[in-house]
C-alpha cells in the first residue's frame, strides 16, 4: 500500500447484516483504510449513526437535504471524497436504484454522483436474491463495471437457507485491499512470485486420503501481503476451507505431485515462497475401489516418497528464482533443525515455526511465532497474527528483490 491512507465511502443499507458493516469499518481501520459512513433511513433501523461514527472515527451522513451536512460537505463532494465506494449491505432496493439511476436519497445520489469504483456486498433473502429482477440489476451493474463481494450461501436471519447472506467482513476487507493493491504501484510491482500453501491430500482409495492439519492461512496471508506490495502472485494451493485471497492467480491442486507440476508450470518467478505442508509420502498404491475391512483391509500402508518442491526449485540450475523461501514446521529444537533444513534443501531463507500442540498451536491457529533464518543469522520474531507475519515477510522480500525483475528481463 502507498503511504497515503486510502479512504472508502461506506454506504450501509437496511438489512440485518448492517451490524457486520461496523465490523468491516473496524477491520479496514486495522488495515490502515479509513471509512466515512452513509447510513440509509432503513439502515438506521438496524444500526445507529452514533455507532457508525464511533467505528469509522468520522461523521455519519444520513440525509440528502441536511443543511448542516451540505455546509460541511456537499453530497457530490462526499461521493468523490473516497478512493472507493463500498455498499454493505447492498439491499435489493439499493441495487435496483443504482442499476436504474434513481437518486432520491443520500445513498442513491452518492452512487449516481460518484466518479469512483463501487463495490457491492449484497445481502437479502434467498428469494429476493434469485428473483429475476435482482439478477437483471446485478447484470446491469456488472456491465457498468461495478464489483461484487458475495453474497454467500448460508442460514438467513429469516430462517431460510441459500445464497443471499452478506459476505463476511474479512472477505469484503480483502476485496477492498485487493482493489487498492491492483491499482497502486508498490515495491514489488512487476515482480512475479510463487506461493505454495495448504496441505496436500494423498489418496488411498476413492473415499480416504492422508493429509495434515495445515489450514493454508499463513500461505494465503503471505500471498495477499505480497499482492498488497504490487507483486503478481501465483498461489498454488492444496485443499482448504478458507476464502481464497482476491487479486492473485489461483491454481488449486490436491496432491504433492500436482503441486509440483503446477509450481513448475508457474516458473519463471523472481521469488518462490514454499509455505505448503506437502505430504512427504503418498500411498504406493491408490485403490480404484473402496478398501473393504473383510478383504483384509488396511493393516499397513506402503508408501512412496513425494517430490520435494522446495528442494527442486532451490537447486534449479537454470532460471532459479532470485530468492527461495522455505518454511520449517518443527516441534523440537526449532532453530537447529531449521538451519539444517535450509542447507539440505538449498533455499535462501527459512521461516521456522514451532508447531507443538497447545493452546496457541500455529497449525490451524490464528497466530504464529517464527524465526527467520538467512545467511546473516537467525532472527526471532515475537508472536503475532498470521497476517502480520505475512506483512513482515513481504516487506523483507521486497527489500531483497530491489532492482529490476530478472523474469521480465529474460522474457
Ligand atoms: N516441502 C516441499 N515439498 C515437499 C516437502 C516439503 O516443498 N515434498 C517444503 C515445505 O513447503 C516447506 C519445507 O519444504 O517449505 C519444509 O517442510 P517440512 O515438512 O518441514 O520439511 P521436510 O523436508 O518434510 O522435513 P521433515 O518432515 O523431516 O521435518
- Summarised one tens digit per residue, pLDDT across range 190-202 is 899 999 999 999 9
The C-alpha cell at 220 is 494465503
Average pLDDT over residues 393-404: 92
The predicted model gives 325-352 an average pLDDT of 94
Distance CA 371, CA 327 (A): 10
Does 114 share its domain with 231? no
Taking Cα atoms as reference points, which of 65, 12, 2 lies closest to residue 36?
12
Point out the residues that are catalytic.
158
**Whether residue 277 has pLDDT greater than 90:** yes
CA of 144 to the centre of ligand 1 (A): 47
- What residue owns the CA closest to ligand 1's atom 3? 308
Q: What is the pLDDT of residues 339-376, one digit of tens each?
A: 999 999 999 999 998 887 665 666 666 788 899 999 99
Mean pLDDT, the chain, whole residue set: 90
One domain for residues 324 and 287: yes
Q: So what's the pLDDT on residue 144?
A: 83
Inside any domain, residue 37: yes
- Do residues 193 and 134 share a domain? no
Residue 249 inside a domain? The answer is yes
pLDDT at site 259: 98
Last residue of a domain, one of 145, 177, 209: 177
CA proximity to 178, closest of 64, 33, 328:
33
Classify residue 1: in a domain, yes or no.
no
Residues 166 and 250 in one domain: no
Three-state DSSP at 21 gives helix
Residue 85: φ, ψ to 5°: -105, 130
- Who wins on pLDDT, 363 or 214? 214
Between the CA of 358 and the centroid of ligand 1 the distance, in Å, is 22
Do 363 and 240 belong to one domain? yes
Residue 150 has pLDDT above 80, yes or no: yes
Q: Are 279 and 159 members of one domain?
A: no
Distance, CA of 113 to CA of 77 (rounded, Å)? 9
Q: Which domain covers residue 48, as residue numbers?
A: 6-177
In this structure, the answer to whether residues 141 and 196 fall within a common structural domain is no
pLDDT band at 297; cut points 50, 70, 90: low
Q: In terms of domains, do 122 and 223 share one?
A: no
306 Cβ below 6 A of ligand 1: yes
Number of domains forming the structure of the chain: 2
CA of 277 to the centre of ligand 1 (A): 7
The CATH number linked to 115 is 3.40.50.1950
- Identify the pLDDT of residue 362: 63
Look at residue 1 in the predicted model and tell me its pLDDT: 43
328 lines ligand 1 (CB under 6 A): yes
State mean pLDDT over 62-74. 71
Q: Are 215 and 240 in contact (CB under 8 A)?
A: yes
Query: Which of 339, 341, 355 maximizes ligand 1 atoms within 8 Å of its Cβ, making it the mutation to test the pocket?
Result: 341
Cα–Cα distance between 110 and 9 in angstroms, integer?
A: 9
**Is the shortest distance between the CB of 338 and ligand 1 below 6 Å?**
no
pLDDT band at 2; cut points 50, 70, 90: very low
350 and 207 assigned to the same domain: yes
| Claim to verify: residue 195 and residue 104 sit in the same structural domain | no
Q: What percent of the chain has pLDDT over 90?
A: 72
* Last residue of one domain, picked from the residues 177, 196, 224: 177
Q: How far is CA 261 from CA 30, 125, 191, 276, in A?
A: 37, 43, 21, 14
Q: Ligand 1, residue 307: give the atom nearest the CA.
A: 8
Q: Is the CB of 352 under 6 A from ligand 1?
A: no
Predicted pLDDT at 270: 97
**Do 24 and 138 share a domain, yes or no?**
yes
Q: Does 256 sit in the ligand 1 pocket, CB within 6 Å?
A: yes
Decide whether any atom of ligand 1 lies within 6 Å of the 259 Cβ: no
Phi, psi of 394 (to 5 degrees): -60, -40
Highest mean pLDDT among 135-144, 173-182, 253-262: 253-262
Question: Same domain, yes or no, for 173 and 191?
Answer: no
Amino acid at each position: 500500500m502507498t503511504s497515503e491512507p486510502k479512504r472508502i465511502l461506506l454506504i450501509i443499507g437496511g438489512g440485518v447484516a448492517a451490524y457486520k458493516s461496523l465490523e468491516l469499518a473496524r477491520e479496514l481501520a486495522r488495515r490502515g483504510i479509513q471509512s466515512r459512513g452513509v447510513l440509509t433511513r432503513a439502515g438506521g433501523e438496524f444500526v445507529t449513526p452514533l455507532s457508525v461514527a464511533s467505528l469509522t472515527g468520522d461523521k455519519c451522513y444520513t440525509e440528502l437535504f441536511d443543511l448542516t451536512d451540505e455546509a460541511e460537505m456537499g453530497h457530490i463532494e462526499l461521493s468523490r471524497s473516497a478512493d472507493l465506494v463500498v455498499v454493505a449491505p447492498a439491499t435489493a432496493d439499493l441495487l435496483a436504484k443504482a442499476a436504474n439511476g434513481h437518486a432520491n436519497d443520500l445513498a442513491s445520489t452518492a452512487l449516481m454522483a460518484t466518479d469512483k469504483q463501487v463495490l457491492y456486498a449484497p445481502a437479502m433473502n434467498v428469494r429476493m436474491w434469485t428473483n429475476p429482477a435482482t439478477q437483471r440489476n446485478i447484470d446491469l451493474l456488472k456491465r457498468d463495471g461495478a464489483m461484487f463481494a458475495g453474497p454467500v450461501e448460508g442460514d438467513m436471519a429469516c430462517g431460510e437457507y441459500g445464497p443471499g447472506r452478506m459476505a463476511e467482513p474479512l472477505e469484503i476487507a480483502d476485496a477492498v485491499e485487493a482493489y487498492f493493491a491492483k491499482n497502486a504501484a508498490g515495491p514489488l510491482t512487476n515482480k512475479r512470485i510463487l506461493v505454495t500453501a495448504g496441505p496436500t491430500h494423498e489418496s488411498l482409495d476413492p473415499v480416504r486420503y492422508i493429509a495434515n492439519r495445515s489450514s493454508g492461512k499463513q500461505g494465503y496471508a503471505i500471498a495477499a501481503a505480497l499482492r498488497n506490495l504490487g507483486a503478481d502472485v501465483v498461489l498454488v494451493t492444496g485443499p482448504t476451507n478458507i476464502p481464497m485471497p482476491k487479486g492473485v492467480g489461483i491454481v488449486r491442486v490436491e496432491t504433492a505431485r500436482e503441486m509440483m507440476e503446477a509450481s513448475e508450470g508457474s516458473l519463471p518467478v523472481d521469488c518462490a515462497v514454499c509455505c505448503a505442508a506437502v505430504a512427504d509420502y503418498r500411498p504406493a498404491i491408490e485403490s480404484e475401489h473402496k478398501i473393504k475391512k473383510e478383504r483384509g483391509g488396511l493393516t499397513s500402508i506402503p508408501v512412496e516418497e513425494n517430490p520435494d518442491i522446495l528442494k527442486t526449485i532451490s537447486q534449479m540450475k537454470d532460471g532459479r528464482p532470485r530468492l527461495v523461501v522455505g518454511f520449517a514446521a518443527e516441534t523440537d529444537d526449532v532453530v537447529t533443525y531449521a538451519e539444517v533444513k535450509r542447507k539440505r534443501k538449498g533455499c535462501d531463507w527459512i521461516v521456522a515455526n514451532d508447531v507443538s500442540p497447545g493452546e496457541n498451536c500455529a497449525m490451524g491457529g490464528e497466530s504464529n511465532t517464527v524465526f527467520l533464518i538467512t545467511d546473516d543469522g537467525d532472527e526471532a520474531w515475537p508472536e503475532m497474527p498470521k497476517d502480520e507475519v505475512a506483512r513482515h515477510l513481504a516487506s523483507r522480500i521486497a527489500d531483497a528483490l530491489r532492482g529490476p525483475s530478472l523474469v521480465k528481463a529474460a522474457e
